[in-house]
Amino acid sequence: DTGVSQDPRHKITKRGQNVTFRCDPISEHNRLYWYRQTLGQGPEFLTYFQNEAQLEKSRLLSDRFSAERPKGSFSTLEIQRTEQGDSAMYLCASSLVGQSGEQYFGPGTRLTVT
């Protein structure tokens, strides 16, 4: 029984570069969430998918951010033209429709923009 996995675990990039992160949810989970967490803060909601449909997006998700879940399984989060303010931990979680909605989190991808 594997949990939520994320890849890569760490990413260092230069300002202006594009980066893409991947999240693989728990296999039977059809809900998937992305969050961003900066140092000393709680995670902030970015977006939510049910199957392949992106149903909710935060205003935090600027035009430089895009998320996809093309086949309702894994998801990708892309940041274009990275800025130093994008440095954060990016967390993914999944849950199951029809159950309690309890979310299970992956280990996160730590992004550093230099």
Q: What is the contact surface with other proteins in residues (CB under 8 A)?
A: 31, 33, 35, 37, 41-45, 48, 50, 55-56, 58, 89, 91, 93, 100-105, 107-108, 110
Distance between start and end Cα atoms, the chain: 37
Q: Kindly state the smallest distance separating residue 78's Cβ from other proteins, in Å.
A: 21
Q: Is the peptide bond before 25 cis (omega within 30 degrees of 0)?
A: no
CB 74 → other proteins: shortest distance, Å? 19
Of 54 and 80, nearer to other proteins (C-beta) is 54
Helices (H), ranges, 8-100: none
Q: Which is nearer to other proteins, 79 or 93 (CB)?
A: 93
Nearer to other proteins, 74 or 104 (CB): 104
Q: Give yes or no for a contact between 34 and 77, defined as CB atoms under 8 angstroms apart.
A: yes
| C-alpha dihedral, 49 to 14 to 38 to 72, nearest 10° | 10
User: Which is nearer to other proteins, 56 or 83 (by Cβ)?
Assistant: 56
Distance CA 102, CA 67 (A): 22
Minimum Å distance from CB 100 to other proteins?
Answer: 5
